[in-house]
């Protein structure tokens, strides 16, 4: 028995090492991460939690993560590297949580490793361990809160239980607004149990813990920004987007071969033949979060939005596999587990090239774009070079207007007009434009930038080695393997209009 225990822990260690190596191999950074980095940098510099000094707009939707980045920057850490390290640490911790949860559910030593193994070889799980965003940290908080909820509800004396699940889910609410979905499901699960056994003290304790954590944050947000929700919510959520959401969820399910895992999640929630019931959280949360994703239209990035569901789907698949093979020979059970791991590894083998579709329904055209993580890294590489060049050539009092409001504003430090409205209160509350991708429907054009006194408009983020068509007054910059242009909007711009520049110096 002791040998089996050692072998079990050795296999877990191998899985954790494999997952870390996979994440390191797929590591990347995304432009949106630098929005939070800019807020963090301004906080460290004494300007407050703002995008532009003097303008209180909550353009981030990851409060706790932004504070973590600020703490790292205060300690002298480079935010890109620090965010990747923090994300990979969260990924490893989440795999350990799933392993422990599987053991609590009565899974055998080998079947308890199935869910961590599925995620260790999965493309999306590996990629979103990095990216610079709060994605995996949020998934960890939700999964850890759900696991703790299971243990608290299974405890013999629920009256004395400390509501650790509520505290973890409260931190999830501070990390992403979608944490409130998990918190609501948890309170509903506790109320359901209280209705059966008459013990309501855990419900009040959890509600109090959530109320203190979340209430303090909302009160601060109202006092500091004057709004109930982040400004990014106004900019990105322009009403129901069911067509985009259906395509997003469909592509996710097809890519990950996870449609059968939805059934597995149901088996996890029921838990009829497992030694311990997981409690009424997993299935309602997966269903509600999928419905929310359907309503808001999903996301522009490769399955980032539904990363929080992966751990529940993997654990559900492992529980169903264990249940289906509990009386089968070991060879059959091993083959079933291997099949699940192979299915989870399929996106890693097949890759993901992105999706771009125009769907006409009811006289309206829906534009859907889901961009791969590799493409996002290429965008960031180009924009980083543009940001470095602009930092060297623009004057300190000048300003820029652009749509990729991450690394370029972060590197230059210039006052920036975010033309998609994520960091601009007025644009975020403006009308949504038809035929644009989800989250990019509040865009304004050059006339607004000119009226705001912006010095330069930076071209649309289209990667091309050719010169983009541009107005005759534009400044074209040749970076060697690609060209970009800047349109001076204000009189007396330091970079003369009509010029062609080589990267790093003026050209003829």
Q: What is the DSSP string of 396-436?
A: TT-EEEES--SHHHHHH--EEEETTSTT-HHHHTSPPPTT-
| 415 and 281 within one domain | no
| 122 and 217 within one domain | yes
Rounded to an integer, what distance in angstroms lies between the CA atom of residue 79 and that of residue 70?
A: 8
From 324, 355, 386, the end of a domain falls on 355
49 assigned to some structural domain = no
Count of structural domains within the chain: 2
| 433 and 400 within one domain | yes
367 assigned to some structural domain = no
Beta pairing, strands 505-506 & 500-502: antiparallel
Contacts for 362 with CB less than 8 Å, ≥ 6 apart: none
| 419 and 290 within one domain | no
| 458 and 408 within one domain | yes
391 assigned to some structural domain = yes
From 320, 355, 390, the end of a domain falls on 355
366 assigned to some structural domain = no
- Domain encompassing residue 75: 2-30+61-355
Q: Please give the pLDDT value at position 381.
A: 92
Q: Please give the pLDDT value at position 470.
A: 60
| 393 and 301 within one domain | no
In angstroms, what CA-CA distances link 76 with 44, 72, 79? 11, 6, 9
pTM for the whole structure: 0.91
| DSSP per-residue codes, 432-487 | PPTT--TT--S---HHHHHHTT-SEEEPP----SSPPP--TTPEEEE-SS-EEEEE
From 294, 322, 355, the end of a domain falls on 355
| 381 and 243 within one domain | no
491 assigned to some structural domain = yes
| 402 and 345 within one domain | no
Distance of CA 208 to the CA centre of its chain: 28
Rounded to an integer, what distance in angstroms lies between the CA atom of residue 30 and that of residue 407?
A: 9
Rounded to an integer, what distance in angstroms lies between the CA atom of residue 57 and that of residue 427?
A: 12
How many CA within 13 A on the CB side of residue 53? Answer: 12
| 314 and 393 within one domain | no
| 187 and 154 within one domain | yes
| 284 and 418 within one domain | no
Q: Please give the pLDDT value at position 304.
A: 94
Calculate the dihedral angle through the C-alpha atoms of 63, 379, 376, 79, rounding to the nearest 10 degrees.
-40
| 396 and 275 within one domain | no
368 assigned to some structural domain = no
Q: Please give the pLDDT value at position 490.
A: 79
112 assigned to some structural domain = yes
Q: Please give the pLDDT value at position 192.
A: 86
45 assigned to some structural domain = no
Can you give the pLDDT of all 508 residues of the chain as single tens digits? Answer: 455 578 888 999 999 999 999 999 999 999 999 999 999 999 999 999 999 999 999 999 999 999 999 999 999 999 999 999 999 999 999 999 999 999 998 898 889 999 999 999 999 999 999 999 999 999 999 999 999 998 888 777 666 567 889 999 999 999 999 999 999 999 999 888 888 777 788 888 899 999 999 999 999 999 999 999 999 988 888 778 888 999 999 999 888 876 455 445 455 544 444 444 445 788 899 999 999 999 999 898 999 999 999 999 899 888 888 887 877 788 888 888 888 898 899 899 988 988 888 888 877 888 888 999 999 999 999 999 999 988 888 888 899 999 889 999 999 999 999 999 999 999 989 888 777 888 788 888 888 888 898 998 887 655 444 445 566 677 888 888 877 888 888 777 777 766 677 775 544 3
């Amino acid at each position: 028995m002791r040998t089996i225990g050692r072998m079990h822990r050795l296999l877990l260690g191998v899985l954790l090492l494999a997952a870390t190596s996979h994440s390191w191999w797929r590591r990347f950074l995304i432009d949106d991460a630098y929005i939070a980095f800019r807020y963090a940098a301004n906080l460290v510099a004494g300007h407050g939690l703002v995008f532009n000094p003097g303008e209180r707009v909550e353009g981030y939707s990851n409060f706790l993560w932004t504070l973590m980045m600020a703490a790292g920057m205060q300690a002298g850490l480079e935010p890109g590297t620090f965010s990747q390290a923090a994300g990979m640490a969260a990924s490893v911790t989440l795999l350990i949580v799933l392993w422990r949860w599987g053991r609590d559910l009565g899974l055998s030593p080998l079947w308890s490793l199935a869910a961590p193994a599925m995620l260790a070889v999965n493309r999306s799980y590996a990629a979103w361990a990095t990216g610079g965003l709060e994605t995996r940290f949020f998934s960890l908080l939700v999964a850890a809160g759900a696991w703790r909820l299971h243990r608290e509800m299974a405890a013999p004396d629920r009256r004395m239980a400390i509501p650790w699940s509520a505290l973890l889910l409260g931190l999830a609410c501070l990390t992403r607004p979608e944490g409130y979905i998990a918190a609501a499901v948890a309170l509903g699960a506790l109320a359901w149990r209280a209705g059966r056994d008459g013990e309501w003290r855990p419900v009040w304790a959890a509600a109090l813990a959530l109320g203190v954590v979340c209430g303090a944050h909302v009160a601060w947000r109202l006092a500091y920004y004057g709004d109930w929700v982040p400004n990014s919510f106004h900019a990105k959520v322009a009403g129901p987007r069911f067509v985009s959401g259906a395509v997003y969820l469909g592509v996710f399910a097809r890519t990950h071969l996870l449609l059968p895992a939805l059934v597995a999640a149901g088996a996890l929630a029921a838990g009829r033949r497992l030694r311990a019931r997981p409690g009424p959280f997993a299935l309602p949360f997966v269903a509600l979060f999928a419905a929310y994703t359907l309503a808001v239209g999903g996301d522009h990035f490769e399955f980032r939005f539904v990363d929080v569901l992966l751990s529940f789907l993997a654990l559900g698949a492992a529980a169903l596999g264990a249940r289906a093979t509990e009386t089968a020979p070991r060879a059959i059970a091993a083959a079933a587990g291997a099949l699940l791991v192979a299915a989870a590894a399929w996106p890693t083998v097949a890759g993901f090239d992105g999706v771009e579709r125009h769907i006409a329904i009811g006289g309206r055209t829906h534009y859907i774009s889901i961009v791969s993580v590799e493409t996002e890294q290429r965008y960031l590489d180009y924009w980083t070079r543009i940001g470095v060049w602009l930092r060297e050539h623009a004057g300190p009092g000048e300003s820029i207007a652009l749509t990729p409001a991450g690394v370029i504003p972060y590197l230059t430090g210039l006052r920036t007009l975010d033309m998609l409205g994520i960091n601009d209160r007025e644009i975020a509350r403006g009308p949504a434009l038809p035929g644009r991708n989800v989250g990019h429907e509040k865009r304004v054009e050059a006339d607004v930038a000119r009226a705001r006194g912006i010095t330069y408009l930076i071209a649309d983020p289209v990667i091309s080695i050719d010169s983009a068509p541009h107005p005759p007054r534009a400044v074209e910059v040749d970076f060697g393997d690609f060209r970009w242009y800047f349109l001076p909007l204000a009189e007396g711009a330091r970079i003369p209009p009509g010029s062609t520049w080589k990267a790093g110096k003026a050209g003829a």
